[in-house]
């Protein structure tokens, strides 16, 4: 097992994993990203996101896509994990844990104070996994989002 930074050559498999994740989360219809979008976000002079992949003998079997967030209370950045996904046939072999551990190590190496993410409330296997590695649920927080038409209308006001 190898956990490595993704390369531009990995974009097609990253797109496959994104679609597989969306299918798992019952949201296939919501994927609008293209390979060009992902390539532009990850592999430019000033990337807005980063990606690590789990590689087993040359086959990418999972990925973690993340970006930086910031805590004004701590005065330091942190890692926000946007997506973590391992192909179903490769689960239970430590790939997800290895991807998470790599991001935790990056956070510590760079002096970041937090590593956080969201999980769907029905995804009990993931919730159990996150609790097993020591993560805490932030149950007192409610997520809000402006997107699509609501974002456009609000911005016009």
Positions of E strands within the chain:
2-5, 50-56, 59-71, 76-86, 114-117
Predicted confidence (pLDDT) at residue 71 exceeds the cutoff of 90: yes
Share of the chain above pLDDT 70, in %: 100
Q: Which member of 24, 70, 112, 130 is catalytic?
A: 130
pLDDT tier at 157, thresholds 50, 70, 90: confident
Give me the mean pLDDT over the 21-31 stretch: 95
Q: What is the pLDDT of residues 33-64, one digit of tens each?
A: 999 999 999 999 999 999 999 999 999 999 99
Q: Is 80 labeled as catalytic in the residue annotation?
A: no
Q: What is the pLDDT of residues 126-141, one digit of tens each?
A: 999 999 999 999 999 9
Share of the chain above pLDDT 90, in %: 99
Domains of the chain, CATH where assigned: 2-156 (3.40.630.30)
pTM score of the predicted model: 0.93
């Amino acid at each position: 097992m190898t956990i490595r930074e993704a390369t531009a050559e990995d974009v097609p498999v990253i797109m496959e994993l994104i679609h597989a994740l969306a299918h798992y989360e019952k949201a296939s219809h919501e994927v609008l990203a293209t390979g060009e979008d992902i390539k532009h976000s990850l592999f430019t002079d000033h990337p807005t996101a980063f990606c690590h992949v789990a590689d087993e003998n040359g086959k990418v079997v999972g990925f973690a896509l993340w970006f930086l967030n910031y805590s004004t209370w701590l005065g330091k950045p942190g890692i926000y994990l946007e997506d973590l996904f391992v192909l179903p046939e490769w689960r239970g072999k430590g790939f997800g844990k290895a991807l998470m551990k790599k991001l935790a190590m990056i956070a510590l190496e760079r002096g970041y104070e937090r590593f956080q993410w969201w999980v769907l409330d029905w995804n009990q296997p993931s919730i159990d996994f996150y609790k097993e590695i020591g993560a805490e649920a932030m149950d007192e927080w409610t997520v809000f989002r402006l997107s699509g038409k609501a974002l456009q209308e609000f911005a016009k006001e």
